[in-house]
Each structure stands twice: as structure tokens, then as C-alpha cells.
Amino acid sequence: MNCNCCSVHSSDQICMHKVPIFSSLSPEEMSHISSIIKHKNYQKGELLFSEGDSPRSLIIINEGSVKAFKVTPEGREQILHIFSEGDFFGEQNLFGSQKSPYTAEALAPTGICSFAKEDFYQILHAHPGIAIKIIETLGERIARMEDTMQSIGVRNLDSRISGLLLDFADKYGKVVPEGILIQLPVSREGMANYLGIARETISRKLGQLEAEGLIHSVNNKNILLKNREAMNTLAGKDC
């Protein structure tokens, strides 16, 4: 399992280089750390861990995507995050011996790298630079969640949906001549569960947006964003 050279083709190296938190390390440090990484693959629908588990490892996504969700008392899924290539999560699993606050499920065939809790503590003590990178990244995540919380305060549902589409456009969009083609990581139901609304409402609202000429629903997995400017205005992001 241990790679005895620094081959750039090692899948360990792939993980390391995709994640900014390791960018401050020297090549020797990287190769030491990559020797303690574990790998695993998941199929679509498979659970990485469940709410309440104590998996005690930090997970970095190498390929694919993962949704993190809680189940509400009424039995609905509330999606909290959608992680994809290069994202890491599970830091709550490492520290404070807390239980995982959410369930993590693969949205597509997904490959991950993970560190055990003990190893990670060692690394942090030896390389304060990594800790700072992690703090920065967590700070960014908090800022993004604060954005989400604000958008929830926006009563206008249209704004929230536009905001979600814009987020997806940044993360999963490809620029094409007609606009931005968004490859949706989740179904309509997933979007509804992300926004905390009913499936049917998403359908209706997307229908409206299409009627207004802002988007074109290519199929259930792809949406073409035709007018980003108008979308920004709707989302209230240009004030």
C-alpha cells in the first residue's frame, strides 16, 4: 500500500494535490503524509457514514460528489452541503469526540482519501501551516453557510432558487455558446430538500424561469443558464 517513491501517478498524490490545505508542504513532507492516507470507493447511493456515527476520520473527495443531510422530525431530508472533487469534510469527526451531525451519501460513484484522527493530530502539530489552511477553509465554509442562512431569510423563493442555480453554475457549470450549462449534482427532489421546500414547488418555479427565458431545462440532469445577469438581479446579488 505504501508508495516507496514519489511517483506523480500515485493516487495518494492525486488527493494531496487536489486539496489546498496541503499546499504549504515540501515534497518530502507530502510523501510522508501520503503514506498514511487510506482510500475507498463508493457507489451512488452508498453511505459514507450516518448521523450519530463516530467515523473519526477526515475525508477528502478525489472524484465524484457527496451530499450531507439530516433527517427532520417530519421525516424529510434536509441537505446541508453538497461536496465534490477537492472538498474535504468530517472535521467534526476528528475533534471533540463528537458524533457526526449528518449522514453522508455518495451522489455518484465516488473515490475518497481519508486520514485517521490520530494521524491527523500528529500532522497538525508538526505542520502548523496546515492548521492555518484548515482554519481558513473552515472560515470560508462558515461564510458560505452564513450566505445560505441569509438567503433563507429572504422570503422571496425566486431569489433563493436563483441563488442556488448560480451556486451550481459556479461549481458545476460549463461555459457554452448559449450560456452556462449546469450539470446538476442532484435531482429536483434534491434541490427541494436543499432549499427546504416541496418538490412540486421547484418544478413550478423552474417552469416559470423557463417561461421567462432565463433558463432552459435541457433534461432532468442539465439546465442551461441563458441569462446570468437577469439571474443575478433576481437573486439580489447585485446590490
Partner DNA sequence: CGCGAGCTTGAACATTATCAAGGCAAGTGG
Partner DNA sequence: CCACTTGCCTTGATAATGTTCAAGCTCGCG
Residues 134 and 58 sit within 8 Å (Cβ to Cβ): no
Binding mask 217-236 for a copy of itself (x = CB under 8 A): -------------------x
Interface with DNA includes 2 (CB under 7 A)?
A: no
Residues 171 and 181 sit within 8 Å (Cβ to Cβ): no
Residues 18 and 113 sit within 8 Å (Cβ to Cβ): no
- Provide the residue type at 57 as one letter: S
Interface with DNA includes 204 (CB under 7 A)?
A: yes
> If contact means CB under 5 to 8 A according to the sort of partner, which of DNA, a copy of itself, none does residue 150 touch?
a copy of itself
Q: DSSP labels for 197-227?
A: S-HHHHHHHHHHHHHTTSEEEEETTEEEE--
Mention every residue, 6+ apart, whose C-beta is less than 8 A from residue 184: 168, 172, 190, 191, 220, 221, 222, 223
Nearer to DNA, 148 or 187 (CB): 187
Helices first, then strands: H and E counts in the chain: 9, 12
Nearer to DNA, 7 or 208 (CB): 208
Binding mask 163-192 for DNA (x = CB under 7 A): ------------------------xxx---
Interface with a copy of itself includes 239 (CB under 8 A)?
A: yes
Q: Which of 98, 175, 207, 208 binds a copy of itself (CB under 8 A)?
A: 98
Nearer to a copy of itself, 154 or 175 (CB): 154
Interface with DNA includes 17 (CB under 7 A)?
A: no
Near DNA by CB under 7 A, which window of 48-56, 62-70, 116-124, 193-201?
A: 193-201
- Smallest distance, a copy of itself to C-beta of residue 84, A: 18
Q: Which of 78, 201, 227, 232 binds DNA (CB under 7 A)?
A: 201
Q: DSSP labels for 67-129?
A: EEEEE-TTS-EEEEEEEETT-EE-HHHHSTTPPPSSEEEESSSEEEEEEEHHHHHHHHHH-HH
Q: State how far the Cα of 52 lies from the Cα of 5, in Å rounded to an integer.
A: 39
Q: How far is CA 28 from the centre of its chain?
A: 29
Name the residues that contact a copy of itself, by CB under 8 A. 70, 72-74, 76, 78, 80, 91-92, 94-96, 98, 101-102, 121, 124-125, 128-129, 131-132, 134-136, 138-143, 145-150, 152-156, 159, 193, 196, 236, 239
Name the residues that contact DNA, by CB under 7 A. 155-158, 187-189, 196-204, 206-207, 217, 219-220
